[in-house]
A = this chain, B = another copy of it.
Amino acid sequence: MEIEIATIGGYEEVGRQMTAVRAGDDVVVFDMGLNLSQVLIHDNVETEKMHSLDLIDMGAIPDDRIMSELEGDVQAIVPTHGHLDHIGAISKLAHRYDAPVVATPFTIELVKQQVESEQKFGVENDLVKMDAGETMTIGDSGQVELEFVNVTHSIIDAINPVLHTPEGAVVYGLDKRMDHTPVIGDPIDMKRFREIGREGEGVLCYIEDCTNANKQGRTPSESVARRHLKDVMYSLEDYSGGIVATTFSSHIARVKSLVEFARDIGRQPVLLGRSMEKYSGTAERLGFVDFPGDLGMFGHRKSVDRTFKRVMKEGKGNFLPIVTGHQGEPRAMLTRMGRGETPYELEDGDKVIFSARVIPEPTNEGQRYQSERLLGMQGARIYSDIHVSGHLNREGHYQMLQALQPQNVIPAHQDMSGFSGYVNLAESEGYKMGRDLHVTRNGNLIQLTE
């Protein structure tokens, strides 16, 4: 059976991921993502109202024109998890394909919300839920099967899809960390990866998330971040003034830790900001997390302001607002707090906890610096970098290669410089560029078997 990989987006950058795998006549698309930084550099852009071609020109969403060269029918669109760089282009591109979106329940719910907010296109693809550990037949050949293997990432309900073909498995490895003790959900299913590496024809191809491939060692478990966060928050137990925390709003495990430690030190947590409400609300509704019954989540400006007023009245010392703004985004809640634009008044000695790392790009670094300066001018004391990455470091990649023993590897989710560490690793494991190590770019086709 002919197996062909179209590397459509995210092979020259982090963002706008999209990859298609053709097995005979059947095609499965993995991820359709949005590169938000390509949007934000322009003033006054509203992606909801924009046409896909304009977004392609901006480099914001994948250029999927190469799909017409794939001789097969798209049978499924499979986002691996709910981050925007993996699902953000579904509302712009999915309607072109007569295929369902297949994903885990939490991811499906986020896709649904995104499709609903879309204003330019009507997206009517079926949304099909499938859990980690489950499989689905693809196409009519009876020979191709889609499996979801549970992985651990900085968002819940993440999987690595595996396309089983007569020629071996194609493992789409975006995005994950090798976490044996995640705070929510099951550990990464390394046992299943090892089985896939050994069973049948083994692994024909492994497409790997190279975000951190240049970083040494092992990405720590979320438990390590949780232990670190606990250390910080417990150390503030005696403080009677204001404490504010921020993290990635989609990072439910982290939000859960913040909520729990807030209670442990005698504070009522409250989630503030639209995306905080969206992600945590969804996770709770779907049963992924069991927040305290009285946990407030407020997204609309009015209810946020009302909450802040209540906090000021009842005493900042009784609350832990968990807000947006970890990258210093100019309009996010925490930045506005630094500017004194909310009813929450920071005072000398108040604490601000960034349970996140600055995404290393000068724009973010500049904005975060401004935000910290503003907070500092109000007297805030800053705690930063209480975080672990959601992506494999070098030794995680090494262990995945040991587990899967793939015949071909394709580095993804980085630019050329970002691939370099992975190339070195793969070569030290006996792969050879141009033979079985495919360093590629957006818009290419790689034929694996004929």
Q: Are A339 and B43 in contact (CB under 8 A)?
A: yes
Q: Are A180 and B234 in contact (CB under 8 A)?
A: yes
The answer to the question of A420 belonging to the interface, with a C-beta cut-off of 8 Å to chain B, is yes
- Tell me whether A433 and B423 are in contact in the complex, defined as CB-CB below 8 angstroms, given that A231-B181, A370-B41 are known contacts: no
The answer to the question of A56 belonging to the interface, with a C-beta cut-off of 8 Å to chain B, is no
Chain B residues near A374: list those with CB within 8 A. Answer: 41
The answer to the question of A88 belonging to the interface, with a C-beta cut-off of 8 Å to chain B, is no
Contact of A41 among B181, B373, B434 (CB under 8 A): B373
The answer to the question of A119 belonging to the interface, with a C-beta cut-off of 8 Å to chain B, is no
- Of A180, A361, A363, most buried by chain B (CB within 10 Å of CB) is A363
Tell me which residues from 368 to 412 in chain A have a Cβ below 8 Å from any Cβ of chain B.
368-370, 373-374, 377, 381-386, 395, 398-399, 402
Q: Which residue of chain B has the shortest Cβ distance to A398 in the bound complex?
A: B381
Q: Are A228 and B217 in contact (CB under 8 A)?
A: no
Q: Are A220 and B228 in contact (CB under 8 A)?
A: yes
Size of the chain A interface, CB-CB below 8 angstroms: 61
CA distance A402 to B381 in the complex (A): 13
Q: Which residue of chain B has the shortest Cβ distance to A386 in the bound complex?
A: B217
Chain B residues near A217: list those with CB within 8 A. Answer: 232, 382-386
Q: Least Cβ distance of A388 to chain B in Å? A: 9
Tell me which residues from 193 to 229 in chain A have a Cβ below 8 Å from any Cβ of chain B.
214, 216-218, 220-221, 223-224, 227-228
Tell me which residues from 424 to 448 in chain A have a Cβ below 8 Å from any Cβ of chain B.
424, 427, 432-434, 439-441, 444
Chain B residues near A221: list those with CB within 8 A. Answer: 231
The answer to the question of A279 belonging to the interface, with a C-beta cut-off of 8 Å to chain B, is no
Chain B residues near A444: list those with CB within 8 A. Answer: 433-434
CA distance A385 to B395 in the complex (A): 14
CA distance A423 to B420 in the complex (A): 13
CA distance A231 to B439 in the complex (A): 32
Against B, the Cβ 8 Å flags (1 = close, 0 = not) of A28-65 are 00000000000001110000000000000000000000
Tell me which residues from 136 to 175 in chain A have a Cβ below 8 Å from any Cβ of chain B.
none
Q: Least Cβ distance of A206 to chain B in Å? A: 18
The answer to the question of A178 belonging to the interface, with a C-beta cut-off of 8 Å to chain B, is yes
The answer to the question of A419 belonging to the interface, with a C-beta cut-off of 8 Å to chain B, is yes
Chain B residues near A361: list those with CB within 8 A. Answer: 369
The answer to the question of A415 belonging to the interface, with a C-beta cut-off of 8 Å to chain B, is yes
Chain B residues near A420: list those with CB within 8 A. Answer: 415-417, 420
CA distance A424 to B220 in the complex (A): 33
Chain B residues near A116: list those with CB within 8 A. Answer: none
Q: Which residue of chain B has the shortest Cβ distance to A361 in the bound complex?
A: B369
- Tell me whether A395 and B416 are in contact in the complex, defined as CB-CB below 8 angstroms, given that A223-B227, A369-B362, A441-B433 are known contacts: no
Q: Are B224 and A228 in contact (CB under 8 A)?
A: yes
Q: Least Cβ distance of A16 to chain B in Å? A: 16
Chain B residues near A373: list those with CB within 8 A. Answer: 41
Chain B residues near A415: list those with CB within 8 A. Answer: 420, 424
Tell me which residues from 332 to 364 in chain A have a Cβ below 8 Å from any Cβ of chain B.
339, 349, 361-364
CA distance A234 to B223 in the complex (A): 13
CA distance A370 to B364 in the complex (A): 10
The answer to the question of A366 belonging to the interface, with a C-beta cut-off of 8 Å to chain B, is yes
The answer to the question of A235 belonging to the interface, with a C-beta cut-off of 8 Å to chain B, is yes
Q: Least Cβ distance of A411 to chain B in Å? A: 10
Q: Are B231 and A223 in contact (CB under 8 A)?
A: yes
- With A362-B366, A416-B419 known, 17 other A-B pairs at CB within 8 A are A41-B377, A43-B339, A178-B235, A214-B417, A217-B385, A220-B231, A223-B231, A224-B227, A364-B366, A365-B365, A366-B366, A415-B420, A416-B420, A417-B421, A432-B441, A434-B440, A434-B444
Nearest 10 A/B pairs, CB to CB = A366-B366, A362-B369, A416-B420, A417-B420, A227-B227, A217-B383, A362-B366, A221-B231, A417-B417, A362-B365
